[in-house]
Amino acid sequence: MQIHKHEAIIVGAGGAGLMAALYASKGGTDVAVVSKLYPTRSHTGAAQGGISAALGNLDDDAPIYHAYDTVKGGDYLTDQNAAMVLADNAIDAVIELEHMGLPFDRTPDGKISQRRFGGHTSNFGESLVRRACHAADRTGHMILQTLYQQCIKQKVNFFDEFQVVDLIINKDKCVGVVAVDIGTGEFHIYHGKAVLFASGGWGRCWEVTSNAHSLTGDGAAVVLRKGIPLQDMEFYQFHPTGIYRMGILITEGVRGEGGVLLNSRGERFMERYAPSVKDLASRDVVSRAIYDEVEAGRGIKGNNYVHLDIRPSTVNRFFAEEGRPESDYIDDAYVEKKLPDILDFCRTYLGVDPVKEPMPVQPTAHYGMGGIPTNIDAEVVTDENWAVYPGLYAAGETACVSVHGANRLGTNALLELVVFGRRGGMKIAEDVKQMEWTDLPSDAGKAMESEFKRIRTSKGKTKSHELRQKMQNMMMRKVGVYRTEETLSEAVEELKEMKQLYYTDLTIDDEGSIFNTDLMEAWELGCLLDLAEVTAVSALNRTESRGGHSRDDYKKRDDENWLVHTLVHSDSGDVQNPNYQINIKKKVDLSLAEKDDKFIPKERVY
């Protein structure tokens, strides 16, 4: 087994990983970025709508308003100290992206252009604010490209198409990772002082999803399997507007530019669910509204979708009703300019031209609010006392800081990547200077070699694809927008059975070493099953409804008992037979509420 030694090992090359790598490297650290995809293939590149920062380029804005929206959007499960850091650091972070060359759209006076997005308001909910900085509808693409470019400039070491499959621990410290070189099938050891996971989300647990095939939650699963807890896994966001049946995302930026949701009667139904901000209420609210409209028989042509309409005639009609000035009115050319990729997706995949026809949309699995628990410097923490796990860090979607609480606001994820990626990189640069090297354990990588041998030579009857589809379909029905004790208990049972099959009855076609994606997909399925299971287990335990977690049998939010984070870990030490324990002693940080009544949890109305 080849051993590589670098002070910091960054797992993942999306926005979070690249930002961390850049900052650790600028701080003098010898960094290796290990990524299963070429960096520019990371799903950060799919992000469309924008990245928020209270620049105030077009409307009155301030970080404290941004923090308020983030806390409220998170249905008060957001850690308030972290939300304030996010909102405060946002301005510097976005300005810095511009200084790195990111081609933001511009205002007439040459500043970064900003647009409206769900749940982002001025003056503590008074009115919608233009806060989302954007480059057309490919903001994530531009962030990913810019950060990769800067990493090339900075001469960061990249190990592309190396898939991390295990964490190496010695003397209760994280000392490296095990990775498979996808091109050759060989195992490599990365020995480091600091390991940062930035491996993205796990949207592929569900059937209809905006997430790439590669988003299988590997990093979170690897950490969980070491007995380290994951936090708030029951909070998974369904984005209201995925393309019907395909799940491809239609950015909230469409509604930010004036687009509206309509049911089969042509009603703008969000007026009933969120009278003040309507279509730009937070995502959990809009997704439930679509679900309820469909349940009430008002889906389009009796199907489970509604229409999203950005035709200028429709948008301008509602602008007129709202009394907006004519200068706000839009035309076809404006839509083409601001939403080119969205138009392209709809024209390519649906044969629908959004400037002429409305788009068919349904909620799509989108974003994990939970993940590997960290503090505001990206250090992994393992309990209610915020005990730091030495040498282990996490940032981006795979981490849970928690700035998103029970529901993430649009544009806050890209922001989280750059803010906490940067903080993590800086912290690592500082920490590795003081840390001594800890040896690798003598058996490093051995367990994984035999696990891969098991999968590669398994001769059962179940194809990984069949099992994956079964899981995705089940998760959609039982751990979706709405849940109950019954559906969740069934989910937990069914996942146990699926895992049984996974460990005893798998079959694989490709027994080779070179670029064996059959094998890698099977391994990834194991990650998805583990994450699906802790999601269901955590959701079953939380007997309230909050943000993205809606229990039909416990419809109310319960602040008396549940202003706490869920920490779930396995204490069995056996990957195949985990024994999950739930700890609900970690209280939500309410430090802003202590100084300002506006931050005290209250009912969330939009």
Site residues (vs ligand FAD, CB under 6 A): 11-17, 34-37, 39, 42-44, 46-51, 139-140, 163-164, 198-201, 210-211, 215, 218-219, 249, 251, 367, 396-398, 410-414, 417
Residue window 384-423: x/- pattern of binding to another protein, with contact defined by CB under 8 A:
----------------------------------------
Classify residue 99 by burial, with Cβ atoms within 10 Å: 0-12, 13-18, 19+: exposed
Report whether 239 contacts 210 (CB < 8 A).
Answer: yes
Report whether 520 contacts 37 (CB < 8 A).
Answer: no
Phi, psi (rounded to 5 degrees) for 249: -75, 140
As a whole number of angstroms, the distance between CA 400 and CA 518 comes to: 31
Smallest distance, Å, CB 174 to another protein?
A: 27
Closest CA to 174 of 443, 393, 472, 460: 393
Smallest distance, Å, CB 71 to ligand FAD?
A: 17
Report whether 269 contacts 106 (CB < 8 A).
Answer: no
213: its two tokens: 């095939």
Q: Count Cα neighbours of 291 within 13 Å in the Cβ-side half-sphere.
A: 19
From the candidates 204, 225, 283, 604, give the one annotated as an active-site residue: 283
Q: Which is it for strands 173-181 and 157-160: parallel, antiparallel or unpaired?
A: unpaired
Which of ligand FAD, another protein, none does residue 138 bind (CB under 5 to 8 Å by kind)? another protein
Which of another protein, ligand FAD, none does residue 510 bind (CB under 5 to 8 Å by kind)? another protein
Residues 6+ apart with CB under 8 A from 436: none
Q: Count Cα neighbours of 161 within 13 Å in the Cβ-side half-sphere.
A: 10
Which of ligand FAD, another protein, none does residue 396 bind (CB under 5 to 8 Å by kind)? ligand FAD
Report if residue 297 touches another protein, rule: CB under 8 A.
Answer: no
SS (H, E, C) 444-459: CCHHHHHHHHHHHCCE
Segment contacting another protein by CB under 8 A, of 281-289, 295-303, 320-328, 510-518: 510-518
Which of another protein, ligand FAD, none does residue 17 bind (CB under 5 to 8 Å by kind)? ligand FAD
Smallest distance, Å, CB 518 to another protein?
A: 4
Active site residue 283: yes
Q: Which is it for strands 187-191 and 173-181: parallel, antiparallel or unpaired?
A: antiparallel
Residue window 350-389: x/- pattern of binding to another protein, with contact defined by CB under 8 A:
xx--------------------------------------
Phi, psi (rounded to 5 degrees) for 374: -135, 165
Report whether 332 contacts 311 (CB < 8 A).
Answer: no
Map the footprint of another protein across residues 232-271, applying CB under 8 A.
246, 248
Segment contacting another protein by CB under 8 A, of 223-231, 343-351, 353-361, 405-413: 343-351
Q: Which is it for strands 379-381 and 306-309: parallel, antiparallel or unpaired?
A: unpaired
Report if residue 510 touches another protein, rule: CB under 8 A.
Answer: yes
* Cβ closest to ligand FAD, residue 93 vs residue 198: 198
Which of another protein, ligand FAD, none does residue 479 bind (CB under 5 to 8 Å by kind)? none
As a whole number of angstroms, the distance between CA 233 and CA 503 comes to: 23
Which one of residues 2, 3, 38, 577 is an interface residue with another protein (CB under 8 A)?
A: 38
Which of ligand FAD, another protein, none does residue 412 bind (CB under 5 to 8 Å by kind)? ligand FAD
Report whether 409 contacts 120 (CB < 8 A).
Answer: yes
Report if residue 585 touches another protein, rule: CB under 8 A.
Answer: no
DSSP 396-408: GGGEE-SSSTTSP
Residue window 443-482: x/- pattern of binding to another protein, with contact defined by CB under 8 A:
--------------------x-x-----------------
* Cβ closest to ligand FAD, residue 13 vs residue 223: 13
Smallest distance, Å, CB 27 to ligand FAD?
A: 19
Map the footprint of another protein across residues 79-108, applying CB under 8 A.
95, 98-101, 103-108
Segment contacting another protein by CB under 8 A, of 26-34, 260-268, 349-357, 479-487: 349-357
308: its two tokens: 């999203």
Which of ligand FAD, another protein, none does residue 417 bind (CB under 5 to 8 Å by kind)? ligand FAD
Residues 6+ apart with CB under 8 A from 427: 377, 378, 379, 393
Smallest distance, Å, CB 525 to another protein?
A: 12
Segment contacting another protein by CB under 8 A, of 18-26, 82-90, 143-151, 496-504: 143-151
Report whether 3 contacts 181 (CB < 8 A).
Answer: no
Smallest distance, Å, CB 109 to another protein?
A: 7
Report if residue 342 touches another protein, rule: CB under 8 A.
Answer: no
* Cβ closest to another protein, residue 40 vs residue 583: 40
* Cβ closest to ligand FAD, residue 411 vs residue 438: 411
The set of long-range contacts for 383-386, using a CB threshold of 8 Å and a minimum separation of 24, is 383/229, 383/567, 383/583, 383/585, 383/586, 384/567, 384/583, 384/585, 384/586, 384/587
Report whether 458 contacts 507 (CB < 8 A).
Answer: yes
Which of another protein, ligand FAD, none does residue 76 bind (CB under 5 to 8 Å by kind)? none
Which of another protein, ligand FAD, none does residue 602 bind (CB under 5 to 8 Å by kind)? none
What would you measure as the largest C-alpha separation in the chain, in angstroms?
72
Report if residue 152 touches another protein, rule: CB under 8 A.
Answer: yes
Which of ligand FAD, another protein, none does residue 125 bind (CB under 5 to 8 Å by kind)? none
Question: Among all residues, whose Cβ is closest to ligand FAD?
Answer: 14
Residues 6+ apart with CB under 8 A from 227: 569, 570, 571, 573
560: its two tokens: 């008396």
Q: Would you name the residues annotated as active-site residues?
A: 283
> Where do contacts with another protein occur on this chain (CB under 8 A)?
37-38, 40-43, 45-46, 55, 95, 98-101, 103-112, 135-136, 138, 141-142, 145-146, 149-150, 152-153, 183, 212-214, 246, 248, 341, 344-345, 348-351, 463, 465, 508-510, 512-518
